[in-house]
Amino acid sequence: MVNKRSSLIACGAFLFVVWNVLLIFVFWGQPPASQQRDRGQVDTGQLAKDVMKMADAFQSELEAQREILLQIQGYRALWEHQPQNVGAVVSKADMSKDIIPVLVMACNRVTVKRCLDKLIEYRPSADLYPIIVSQDCGHEETANVIGSYGSQVTHIKQPDLTDVAVPKQHKKFMGYYKISRHYHWALQHVFRTFAYSSVIVVEDDLEVSSDFFEYFRGLYPILRSDPTLWCISAWNDNGRDGFVDPGKANLLYRTDFFPGLGWMLLKEVWVELEPKWPAAFWDDWMRQPQQRRDRSCVRPEISRTLTFGRKGVSLGQFYDKYLRYIKLNTEFVPFTKLDLSYLQRQKFDRAFNRDVYAAPQVTFEDLLQGKLAGSGPYRVQYSTQDSFKTFARNLGVMDDLKSGVPRAGYRGVVSILLKGRRVYLAPPPGWTHYDPSWS
């Protein structure tokens, strides 16, 4: 496309020069009117008038040609500064060399070494995937660990280590306020100071899979081109061993739940979120409808991150019961070579709704008691908040909802594998929207 535009510009400039050369020959080769009337006599007064007339015409033509040339130059500037993905779906090849930094959020855990070791081991290029470690807390031992990596990472430090002014009833949540402040500062640094156009965010207690970078690189073009997506996540909230299909490491879903725990964000979304960034509980704030705006994330069947950090401000909430059992993918999937267009909303919704609601509806009791024959899939239907929580709890999946959205859910549906059979925990057919009062 760039070569074609350059050719058009060169052609326009060439025609401009040729046109003016022809004009010069025409004007200078044309005898004055007085000479055409009488070649035998020279009327100096009329000759002067004719010359002035030709000069005025020549000047007018030059002005017109100058305007044309300025228009050509204007279009050239417009083309050179136009984003590549405006008005068309950008190919994977166009973005294969885009720099995608990894932002590691650190504080006071020296085990950040485990996170950094895997990132450095698996990243295919230090130039394409620079690692930025943003440290809060001012913990010296952790700073020393990060510093030991030298030029392999960029170490930045959140400068404001003071306590945050919080409401009296939120004193016990001070840690959440500091985390939100840190995220705001670090993301602002990535997008404003370093001027990157995207980022992969990981916490210091995450271990990544061998195809972590391949996963995000493969999904980067669709995040760029599909306005109904606003993040790519490496995490499946219900991705415990035994609840996912080990033979489908390439299986991806859309989800209405913001998963976090290894996720990609574009600068355009940050520009939208930054002015209203919350003082605390930033991840739950991201899950509110005002921020989500009916957009989805992509998540994998099998997680590309694994959390090993029980210690934290949440005091191990969910860790012992769910998070420690998440299965980390071990099969390298060449996502950059796969056709992922099925994740576009219209295509995905059509196939997803067909699969879910074509599955026979079964009772919860029959499912748990093993009375069902066949390999599935099956559908268990819920219609109230209480019924969802009861079914989810007894199926062994996470039962909490944020602004009405279940973890890993899409259009109200949670998909899991149970004893080798696909099971959809789903609302009735005709579902239209989430109820934010469900929480």
Residues identified as active-site = 283
The answer to whether 72 and 12 have CB atoms below 8 angstroms apart is yes
160 token code pair:
């404001």
| Distant-in-sequence, close-in-space partners of 342: CB < 8 Å, separation ≥ 6 | 348, 351
Q: Buried b / exposed e across 270-304, counting CB within 10 Å, b at 16+?
A: beebeeeebbbebbebbbeeebbeebbbbbbbbbb
- The position carrying tokens 């919860």 is 364
Find the distance separating the first CA and the last CA of the chain, reported in whole Å.
50
Amino acid of residue 400: D
Print the SS3 string covering the chain: CHHHHHHHHHHHHHHHHHHHHHHHHHHHHCCCHHHHHCCCCCCHHHHHHHHHHHHHHHHHHHHHHHHHHHHHHHHHHHHHHCCCCCCCCCCCHHHCCCCCCEEEEECCCCCHHHHHHHHHHHCCCCCCCCEEEEECCCCHHHHHHHHCCHHHCEEEECCCCCCCCCCHHHHHHHHHHHHHHHHHHHHHHHHHHCCCCEEEEEECCEEECCCHHHHHHHHHHHHHHCCCEEEEECCCCCCECCCCCCCCCCCEEEECCCCCCCEEEEHHHHHHHHHHCCCCCHHHHHCCHHHHCCCEEEEECCECEEECCCCCCCCCCCCCCCHHHECECCCCCCHHHCCCHHHCHHHHHHHHHHHHHHCCECCHHHHHCCCCCCCCCEEEECCCHHHHHHHHHHHCCCCCEECCEECCCECCEEEEEECCEEEEEECCCCCCCCCCCCC
